[in-house]
Amino acid sequence: MKDRKINISYIAEINLNSKSAYKHQVLKMCDAFSQKGFKVKLFIINANKVKFNKLKRNYLLKSNFKIVEIYNSINHLNFLTRLLFSIKLFFLIKNKDEIIFSRSVFVSIFLSIFGVKNVLEVHQPNSGLTNLMFNFFRKKILKNTKFILINKNLNKKFLLNKNDFIVADDGVDLRDFKSVQNIKYKDSCVYTGSLFQGKGVEIILKLAKKLNKFTFYVYGDLKTAPAKILNDCLKLKNIKLLGHVKYSEIPKILKSHKSIIMPYSKKVFGNHKNTNIEKYMSPLKLFDYLASGRIIVASKSQSYSHILKDTINSVLCDSSNLDKWVKTLKDISKNKINFNKLKKNSLETAKQFSWIYRIEKILNFIEK
């Protein structure tokens, strides 16, 4: 592999107009592969006329790669559209000098049935028809697929042999944050990310009611928030709902606040509203938070317990212990928590989770 130019066909069921972490992660992975000298083609369903230069600015991409739009008329994913996507891909990417990297379980199943070797990155358990297909074709899938699991707990669902998968947490590009210097921070609290049920807006609402002199700045797509919670937040003057922002603005936003919070509940949901993903997460925001060098206050979770350590690089609170959250934020405001220690350790932790390190780990696994 090291002696020749290798193409990477990266497959993702994304719409380039979306505001999702899925899109963010895919673009950063393609960027990292490209920086390592690979010729990358990102195959997607719909580009919606979004230009690459705009993506490069908005997501702070460092290199160029090709984006191939398969069906520009498809905006809704279902069995038929996924099947059409998979069939067209099958005829586009059959190349022996190619790594086929998929973020779509459906596409990976389809390719495996026809003997096409591929690498599948998994972020949540299968469900519905996809789960039935995976179990039915399991033998062929295991023969032709290597798995990248975003969280070790996923293997409790997939039951893979230890040689068939690795666990690779998400990542961050520290250069995105090093370029933002000499930012004076406010004695306030910030949250960035989606506002789906359990992601944190419920706890922020409770905290805002208890800490009426404390301001909470919330950045995220308001359309993802539960309607009742959103309406209740709008009634409070100390919650600033600022909507979705470009990723290029995130480093400055995070560095502009003394504390940053990640208040997950025991049950966390995303686009699939019936699947609790709390055990299977590797939140992109976590790595941005670490790279910002600010005080992280987060819910305790087995999903990232190997990364966040209480009083070492963060302050951890049980999601149900509101009094602990209140006391922690008050202590931060009164400088009772060692800011410099947490900052130093969070930055050191962030160095272990660069995108480049992540793809090197994946490539070493593929080459075995």
Considering the domain architecture, whether residues 161 and 294 belong to the same structural domain is answered as: no
Considering the domain architecture, whether residues 181 and 271 belong to the same structural domain is answered as: yes
Give residue 190's pLDDT.
97
Considering the domain architecture, whether residues 31 and 179 belong to the same structural domain is answered as: no
CA-to-CA distance for 259 and 330, rounded, in angstroms?
11
**Assigned domain for 180 exists:** yes
Contacts of 256 (CB under 8 A, 6+ apart): 183, 184, 185, 186, 190
The three state secondary structure string of 263-318 is: CCCCCCCCCCCCCCCHHHCCCHHHHHHHHHCCEEEEECCCCCCCCCCECCCEEEEC
**Assigned domain for 47 exists:** yes
Considering the domain architecture, whether residues 334 and 228 belong to the same structural domain is answered as: yes
Tokens of residue 214, six digits: 């404390």
Considering the domain architecture, whether residues 359 and 284 belong to the same structural domain is answered as: no
Considering the domain architecture, whether residues 164 and 239 belong to the same structural domain is answered as: no
Please, what is the end-to-end C-alpha distance for the chain in angstroms?
11
The answer to whether 106 touches 133, Cβ cutoff 8 Å, is yes
Backbone dihedral region of 335: left (phi > 0), alpha (psi from -120 to 50 degrees) or beta? left
Collapsing DSSP to helix, strand or coil, 125 comes out as coil
Considering the domain architecture, whether residues 179 and 136 belong to the same structural domain is answered as: no
**Assigned domain for 120 exists:** yes
Give residue 271's pLDDT.
79
Number of domains in the chain: 2
Considering the domain architecture, whether residues 358 and 251 belong to the same structural domain is answered as: no
Contacts of 343 (CB under 8 A, 6+ apart): 293, 294, 295
CA-to-CA distance for 368 and 359, rounded, in angstroms?
14
**Assigned domain for 1 exists:** no
**Assigned domain for 2 exists:** no
Considering the domain architecture, whether residues 221 and 80 belong to the same structural domain is answered as: no
Considering the domain architecture, whether residues 157 and 78 belong to the same structural domain is answered as: yes
Considering the domain architecture, whether residues 14 and 163 belong to the same structural domain is answered as: yes
**Assigned domain for 48 exists:** yes
**Assigned domain for 201 exists:** yes
DSSP labels, 176-202? HHHTS-SPPPEEEEEEES---TTSSHH
**Assigned domain for 105 exists:** yes
CATH number of domain containing 285: 3.40.50.2000
Considering the domain architecture, whether residues 114 and 22 belong to the same structural domain is answered as: yes
> In terms of residue numbers, what domain contains 185?
175-351
The one-digit pLDDT tens for each residue of the chain (368 residues) are 454 457 999 999 988 888 999 999 999 999 999 999 999 999 998 877 889 999 999 999 999 999 999 876 666 778 888 998 999 999 888 666 689 999 999 999 999 999 999 999 999 999 899 999 999 999 999 999 999 999 999 999 999 999 999 999 999 999 999 988 877 788 899 999 999 999 999 999 999 999 999 999 999 999 999 999 999 999 999 999 999 999 999 999 999 999 999 999 999 998 777 889 999 999 999 999 999 999 999 999 999 999 999 999 999 999 999 999 999 999 999 999 999 999 999 999 999 999 999 999 999 999 87
Give residue 316's pLDDT.
98
